[in-house]
């Protein structure tokens, strides 16, 4: 009898969730106020990180900015300060666990308790697997995936004490489905997605309903990170690289609307679903038709040229 009652309750929750998602698709959800919250953003010296910092500053959040590039991070900090919020910039190597923990201790002592954590930092080796130095492969995993563990362990306990906070993971569409020649990046982003989803289930199981989570999975963003990446020429206008500002603004809507997951653009939900529903051969045929099997080759070639010219350290 108990299982029948639980089944009925599950069906009610399922129906409500579907209807709620449909309504949110057509009606703008109510956005929460984050004025006065303390928001930490990793990779704040990069294109997306800087835009996230400015958008959170516009909402009135005070900022803690982390990046390995001191000059770029300070530039972001100056731009955010002009919007009237408090900004604290720290130079951090996210590939080093102790660097994360030590800087987290400094943030708590010097600034206060972080209530919004945006794990935005990301890297890619840009080499074919068999040609790639092990150190670069490890760095991708450390920054894109392992750092999420250490960041969460550093800042989640304070959120749990108050049952208040928001964890944001900037993953990738390549964490939902894969492509050739970027094994390190795909593996790290699949790991990031899995980590984020498991953590969300963990919080819900503990009834930590005041701690929200948002998973952001954008298509290739035009920041230069994947410069040269191209799908089939006839389809490029259908799925062009995303503008950074558009990506961040759509992400902010999801974060402020407490949306659990967003794919940008919405068409990215299609390959995510077909990957699970269609046979491997069917997905492979579509993938090759779109030029996905060779889309990263120009990007790899660009990285090789920059490396040979001394613009990137080998």
Q: Which positions are catalytic? A: 185
CB 222 within 8 A of CB 242: yes
End-to-end, the C-alpha distance of the chain in Å comes to: 65
Name the β-bridge partners of 263: 217
Helix (H) or strand (E) holding 283: helix 280-289
Phi–psi pair at 294, nearest 5 degrees: -125, 5
Please tell me the distance from the alpha carbon of residue 94 to that of residue 142, in angstroms, as a whole number: 7
Q: Is 114 helix (H, G, I), strand (E, B) or coil?
A: coil
Name the β-bridge partners of 118: 41, 168
| Neighbouring C-alpha atoms within 13 Å toward the C-beta of 23 | 9
Please tell me the distance from the alpha carbon of residue 171 to that of residue 191, in angstroms, as a whole number: 9
Closest CA to 43 of 122, 111, 114: 122
CB 282 within 8 A of CB 273: no
The DSSP code sequence of 3-71 is: HHHHHHHHHHHHHHHHHHHHHHHHSPPPPPP-TT-EEEEETTTSHHHHHHHHHHHHTT-EEEEEES-HH
């Amino acid at each position: 009898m108990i299982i029948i009652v639980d089944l009925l309750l599950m069906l009610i929750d399922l129906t409500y969730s579907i209807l709620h998602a449909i309504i949110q698709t057509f009606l703008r959800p109510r956005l929460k106020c984050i004025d006065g919250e303390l928001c930490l953003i990793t990779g704040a010296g990069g294109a997306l990180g800087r835009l996230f910092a400015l958008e959170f500053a516009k909402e009135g959040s005070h900022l803690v900015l982390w990046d390995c590039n001191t000059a770029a991070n300070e530039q972001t900090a100056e731009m955010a300060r002009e919007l009237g919020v408090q900004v604290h910039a720290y130079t951090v190597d996210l590939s080093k666990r102790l660097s994360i923990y030590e800087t987290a201790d400094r943030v708590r002592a010097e600034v206060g308790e972080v209530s919004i954590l945006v794990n935005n930092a990301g890297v890619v080796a840009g080499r074919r697997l068999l040609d790639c130095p092990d150190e670069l492969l490890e760095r991708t995993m450390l920054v894109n995936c392992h750092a999420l563990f250490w960041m969460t362990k550093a800042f989640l306990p304070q959120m749990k004490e108050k049952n208040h906070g928001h964890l944001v993971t900037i993953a990738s569409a390549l964490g939902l489905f894969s492509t050739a020649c970027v094994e390190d990046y795909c593996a790290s982003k699949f790991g990031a997605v899995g980590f984020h989803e498991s953590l969300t289930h963990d919080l819900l199981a503990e009834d930590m309903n005041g701690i929200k989570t948002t998973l952001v999975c954008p298509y290739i963003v035009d920041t230069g990170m994947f410069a040269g990446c191209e799908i089939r020429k006839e389809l490029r206008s259908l799925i062009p690289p995303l503008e950074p500002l558009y990506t961040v603004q759509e992400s902010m809507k999801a974060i402020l609307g407490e949306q659990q997951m967003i794919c940008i653009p919405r068409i990215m939900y299609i390959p995510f679903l077909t990957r699970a529903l269609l046979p491997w051969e069917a997905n492979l045929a579509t993938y090759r038709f779109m030029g996905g099997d060779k889309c990263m080759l120009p990007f790899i070639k660009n990285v090789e040229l920059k490396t040979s010219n001394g613009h990137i350290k080998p």
